[in-house]
């Protein structure tokens, strides 16, 4: 964020990097930062509606996003404009890095969705991960990503993210 930024004071720019390029950048309001976990809140930053088939992200949705400096994932609680919980969208990422007013996370292609009622737990984009070449380029990172997806899936199936996000 520059001195000429139109972002209100007290915001951070969340920067999602994928394949070495910025995929999306959006302002978010910091909620908490304990030195390990960073929590921000932001409205849906996409253009218009994004229908995944199992959930629709749309203008008015609010994301409370949890990032860790020591874990290989981010968990995003998604609520509609009226506050109704839609579910949790989880990105498998390298650990987050916050520098000043910028929070940078590198997306590693794997994702997980857990519906609000817990009936749907979906592993997403495993084909994209396989095509990314990360397994060959950086086997340690690929192993950490797969382990993180397994950890999140176990939490999602065993009752959700309440303890993780508390």
Degrees, nearest 5: CA angle 135-128-126: 80
Strand partners, 75: 66, 90
Q: Which two tokens stand for residue 45?
A: 């930053």
Q: What residues of the chain score a pLDDT lower than 50?
A: 1-7
Rounded Cα distance between 122 and 101, Å, is: 33
**pTM for this predicted structure:** 0.92
CA 31, chain centre distance (Å): 15
- In this structure, the chain runs to a length of 166
72-112 pLDDT, tens digit each: 999 999 999 999 999 999 999 999 999 999 999 999 999 99
Query: Residue 7 has what pLDDT?
Result: 47
């Amino acid at each position: 964020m520059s001195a000429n930024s139109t972002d209100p004071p007290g915001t951070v720019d969340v920067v999602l990097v994928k394949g070495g390029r910025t995929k999306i950048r959006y302002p978010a309001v910091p909620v908490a930062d304990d030195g390990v976990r960073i929590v921000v809140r932001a409205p849906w930053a996409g253009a218009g509606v994004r229908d995944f088939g199992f959930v629709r992200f749309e203008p008015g949705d609010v994301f409370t996003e949890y990032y860790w400096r020591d874990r290989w994932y981010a968990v995003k609680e998604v609520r509609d404009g009226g506050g109704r919980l839609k579910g949790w969208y989880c990105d498998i990422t390298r650990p987050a890095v916050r520098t000043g007013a910028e929070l940078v996370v590198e997306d590693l292609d794997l994702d997980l969705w857990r519906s609000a009622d817990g009936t749907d737990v979906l592993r997403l984009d495993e084909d994209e991960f396989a095509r990314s070449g990360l397994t060959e380029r950086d086997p340690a990172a690929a192993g950490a990503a797969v382990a993180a997806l397994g950890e999140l899936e176990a939490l999602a199936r065993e009752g959700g993210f309440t303890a993780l996000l508390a």
